[in-house]
Amino acid sequence: MKDLTKGQESRLILNFALPMLLGNVFQQLYNIVDSVIVGNFIGKEALAAVGASFPIIFTLISLIIGIAFGTTIVIAQYFGAKDIANVRKAIDTLYIFLFFTSIIVTVVGIRFSEPIFRLLRLPEEILPQAKSYMNVYMLGAIAFFGFNGTSAILRGLGDSKTPMYFLIISTFFNIGFDLLFVLVFKWGIVGVAVATIIAQGGAFLTAVIYLNKYHQVIQVSVFRMKFDRDIFLKSFRIGLPTGFQHTFVALGRMALLGIVNTFGTDVIAAYSVAGRIDSIAALPAMNFSAALATFVGQNLGANKPLRVRAGFHATLWMSSLISLTVTVLVLFFGEFFMSLFTPDPEVIRIGREYLVIVSSFYLIFSALFTTSGVMRGAGDTLVPMFITLFSLWIVRIPLSYLLSRSMGETGIWWAIPIGWSMGLTISYAYYLTGRWKKKVVVKYQQPETEEIQSFTAKAPS
């Protein structure tokens, strides 16, 4: 665990963000490896099926992940205030919440997968494989929530390295099982989903065993867990706007997929592959934002608002520099990256067009996420939610539809950076008002000296 309330801001945020970034790169490799194997060994119809499934899966899990994010901020602020008893209560509460909601998500996902695909006008040649993949994938929801919940807790405590280690191990297992089930057992697209479930489940169980043995705060035991209503309500108040934001973003992706689906299998497959590459390119901005949110949470919990401002400026510069580097890489090697997923020349051409347009505006995306990270770390998640919904539903989706009528699928790609630009303008204007500082959940209280010394001595670095 790491106390982010002392030391040079830029170094703390960088050291905290980099392991988290590396871990999330490996997490994205789950989807990327799936797509590479599917595209090269099963076919572009299966590749399109996998790509069509993820917006729906993201929609089903987004509300829960957003609410869980609220608990992460509460944990960070309690930890900043050195209130270890409430840190433990918040951890128990999050695990109990994730367990029951994962069951609900699994049932809903399997029951309504086909009606949702039909609502989105997914081509008939893709539908059977998309349904099979999604139904099997949803059986692993409890492992997904469990592992990601554990990672979020550790990040709230300032530990971004431990989740990274488990993610790296899990990713290699996923690659091995993918190759085994697809190339040897010939299970097709179902084998890819089964490989993901086994890898995620193994990562979660391994993390639980490790933390129970070596961690002083996180002790996962079904029989000792207690649900704290007050902490859950605090977490719910912070996390619900983020959950709604994630949900409406996911619904927006589904709406965009509905527009993309009208252009046929090649465009769906290209959109799927380019989206995978785009998701990797966006990780630096997203992880620096997450690191900044934890930094802000701990420092506002410790009554150190001046460090928050310094941390914001440092993150903005670091994230922008990395985003510019990523832009150059994508612009020059976009076609090569596309060719790793599929040999189909038309899919490669359409995907490269997407990447050239979107990657030119990664700097704006980075600044948007950095600004939002400050507000979320303070517990002010309602305003970022409205900003995101405005830029997506009022700007991007209508523009995608209108521009696609005259420009084809290219119009959909151009609507993405236009939405980012509108979101950044509003977000930065709100940051300058400083109203987000009033949303802090806990205030710093001097803890018992003996408790802090004991906790610090036992906690792993």
pLDDT digits (tens, 9 = 90+) for 17-31: 888 788 778 777 767
Q: Is residue 423 part of a domain?
A: yes
Residue labelled with tokens 């670091």: 318
The two tokens of residue 26 are: 């490996």
pLDDT value of residue 460: 39
Residue 172: pLDDT band with limits 50, 70, 90: confident
Residue 34: pLDDT band with limits 50, 70, 90: confident
pLDDT value of residue 140: 92
pLDDT value of residue 251: 86
**Could you tell me how far CA 111 lies from the centroid of its own chain?**
25
Parent domain of 141: 9-458
pLDDT value of residue 454: 39
CA torsion sign for 252, 256, 259, 264 is: negative
Q: pLDDT (tens digit, 9 = 90+) per residue, 325-368?
A: 999 999 999 999 999 888 899 999 999 999 999 999 999 999 99
Give the 3-state DSSP-derived string for the chain, with helices as H, strands as E and coil as C: CCCCCCCCHHHHHHHHHHHHHHHHHHHHHHHHHHHHHHHHHCCHHHHHHHHHHHHHHHHHHHHHHHHHHHHHHHHHHHHHCCCHHHHHHHHHHHHHHHHHHHHHHHHHHHHHHHHHHHHCCCCCCCHHHHHHHHHHHHCCHHHHHHHHHHHHHHHHCCCCHHHHHHHHHHHHHHHHHHHHHHHHCCCCHHHHHHHHHHHHHHHHHHHHHHHHHHCCCCCCCCCCCCCCHHHHHHHHHHHHHHHHHHHHHHHHHHHHHHHHHCCCHHHHHHHHHHHHHHHHHHHHHHHHHHHHHHHHHHHHHCCCHHHHHHHHHHHHHHHHHHHHHHHHHHHHHHHHHHHHHCCCHHHHHHHHHHHHHHHCCHHHHHHHHHHHHHHHHCCCCHHHHHHHHHHHHHHHHHHHHHHHHHHCHHHHHHHHHHHHHHHHHHHHHHHHHCHHHHHCCCCCCCCCHHHHHHHHHHCCC
Residues making up the chain, counted from first to last: 461
Q: pLDDT (tens digit, 9 = 90+) per residue, 216-250?
A: 777 777 778 889 999 999 888 888 877 887 788 88
Residue 113: pLDDT band with limits 50, 70, 90: very high
Residue labelled with tokens 């509003």: 426
Percentage of residues in the chain with pLDDT exceeding 90?
39
- Angle, alpha carbons 417-61-277 (nearest 5°): 40
pLDDT value of residue 147: 87
Percentage of residues in the chain with pLDDT exceeding 70?
94
Over residues 429-450, the mean pLDDT reads 66
Q: Is residue 3 part of a domain?
A: no
Of residues 183, 185, 193, the one with CA closest to residue 40: 183
Q: Is residue 2 part of a domain?
A: no
Asked if the model's pLDDT at residue 15 lies above 70, the reply is: yes
Model's pTM, two decimal places? 0.71
The number of domains in the chain is 1
pLDDT value of residue 326: 92
